[in-house]
């Protein structure tokens, strides 16, 4: 097991969760609330935003667990897949007309987290 690769991936996921869950949430929800959308849409959007933050935190905790307990290595595979597929989704949607997604850090954060975790295996 590549302890430092797993720890670096965990650090990225933790940093991402902090940025996404605090600063990003404040910016995003401020814009959503100004949009005049129905309350149910704002609520679902808030849940979706926060679930992504949870995904990042669970990824980080899983990677730290496996770094210290290599016998749990199978736990890393879903984390790798979630992050690499999430990065692919950002990039794919970015090239499919949602160009702003290419400028956001999500694809790069998830790609780096997934890549480092894969190297840690």
pLDDT per position as a tens digit, 62-75:
999 999 999 999 99
Print the SS3 string covering 26-53: HHHHHHHHHCCCCHHHHHHHHHHHHHHH
Radius of gyration of the chain (CA): 16
Q: What is the pLDDT of residues 82-121, one digit of tens each?
A: 999 999 999 999 999 999 999 999 999 999 999 999 999 9
pLDDT at 14: 98
- Quote the CA–CA distance of 15 and 78 in Å, as a whole number: 20
As for how many domains the chain has, the answer is: 1
Domain ranges, residue 97: 3-120
pLDDT score, position 88 = 98
pLDDT number for residue 1: 81
């Amino acid at each position: 097991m590549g302890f430092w690769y797993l720890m670096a991936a965990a650090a990225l996921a933790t940093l991402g969760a902090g940025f996404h869950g605090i600063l990003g949430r404040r910016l995003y929800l401020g814009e959503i609330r100004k949009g005049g959308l129905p309350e149910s849409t704002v609520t679902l959007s808030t849940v979706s935003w926060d679930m992504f933050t949870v995904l990042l935190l669970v990824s980080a905790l899983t990677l730290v667990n496996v770094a210290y307990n290599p016998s749990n290595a199978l736990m890393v595979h879903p984390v790798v897949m979630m992050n690499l597929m999430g990065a692919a989704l950002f990039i794919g949607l970015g090239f499919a007309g949602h160009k702003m997604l290419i400028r956001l850090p999500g694809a790069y954060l998830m790609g780096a987290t997934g890549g480092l975790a894969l190297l840690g295996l």
